[in-house]
Copies of this chain bind each other. A is one copy, B any other.
């Protein structure tokens, strides 16, 4: 009921403003995910222990700043923060023209995933670990039952994303997300090839298990090492695949795939 408001600002912070702040923090932490709807005003107001009036003022503030989008009768959705990181245009062009950029991307991703795993092991909460476990088990189970490469890629992505979110670094999360979207949008087909090869699949599964155990076991250094090794492995595999394909079809499978 009574919500303590701590502050050290010049002027006393109004409840509605600090509310807006709290909501933003929730978005940054990933509790409220970009693109997803947020609870209704009545629910939120009750859950946060404030009147709907004041909750509305807070939402108004977020809305004015473009953080959320609201429609009468439907609800509000998170529009996402850090829009400047939508690097779509410039880089999608690059991918079309120079497929090798994929390895450059994986080079960056290797760094970021490693750091994310480190931080996740270091400052992830029990709830984070719960989500990670859930994603991991879903991935393992699907790996035994189904052979659908698309689903595998999705679960893979989900697993890595839960880990990055456990890092509690929103900039890291959003950057990785941007890179992943870029990758999935442009070269999904090639990535899927990985899951068709038994040797690759086994290796990937082993890496995933290493990452998972290290994070859950709160072993930051191991987690980082496992994650970087994982991405590096993916990168090398893709390189092999590409060379193979080039041998088979000199004239570019790539461009067809990327178009």
**Residues of A near any B CB (own CB < 8 A):** 8-12, 14, 16, 21, 24-25, 28, 53, 56-57, 60-61, 64-67, 71-72, 81-85, 87-91, 93-94, 97-98, 101, 104-105, 107-108, 111-112, 115, 169-172, 174-175, 178-179, 181-182, 246, 249-250, 252-253
What are some 13 contacts across the A-B interface (CB < 8 A)?
A: A10-B252, A10-B253, A21-B97, A60-B64, A81-B90, A81-B91, A82-B91, A82-B94, A83-B91, A84-B178, A84-B181, A84-B182, A91-B170
* A98–B24 CB distance below 8 A: yes
* B66–A25 CB distance below 8 A: no
Q: Secondary structure at chain A's binding surface: helix, strand, loop or mixed?
A: helix
Contacts of A105 in B (CB 8 A): 171
CA separation between A93 and B20, bound complex, in Å? 12
* A175–B67 CB distance below 8 A: no
CA separation between A182 and B175, bound complex, in Å? 12
Contacts of A172 in B (CB 8 A): 104, 107-108
The quantity of this chain's copies bound in the complex is: 2
- Least CB distance, A154 to chain B, in whole angstroms: 19
* A91–B179 CB distance below 8 A: no
CA separation between A53 and B67, bound complex, in Å? 22
Contacts of A93 in B (CB 8 A): 65
Contacts of A252 in B (CB 8 A): 10
Known contacts A64-B64, A108-B172; 5 further A-B pairs (Cβ under 8 A): A8-B246, A12-B72, A21-B97, A104-B171, A107-B171
Contacts of A111 in B (CB 8 A): 111-112, 115
CA separation between A66 and B171, bound complex, in Å? 26
Q: Which residue of the partner chain, among B9, B56, B60, B87, contacts A178 with CB atoms under 8 Å?
A: B87
Q: Which residue of the partner chain, among B12, B14, B21, B171, contacts A91 with CB atoms under 8 Å?
A: B171
Contacts of A101 in B (CB 8 A): 28, 170-171
* A28–B98 CB distance below 8 A: yes
CA separation between A31 and B104, bound complex, in Å? 17
CA separation between A132 and B122, bound complex, in Å? 36
CA separation between A169 and B250, bound complex, in Å? 25
* A90–B83 CB distance below 8 A: yes
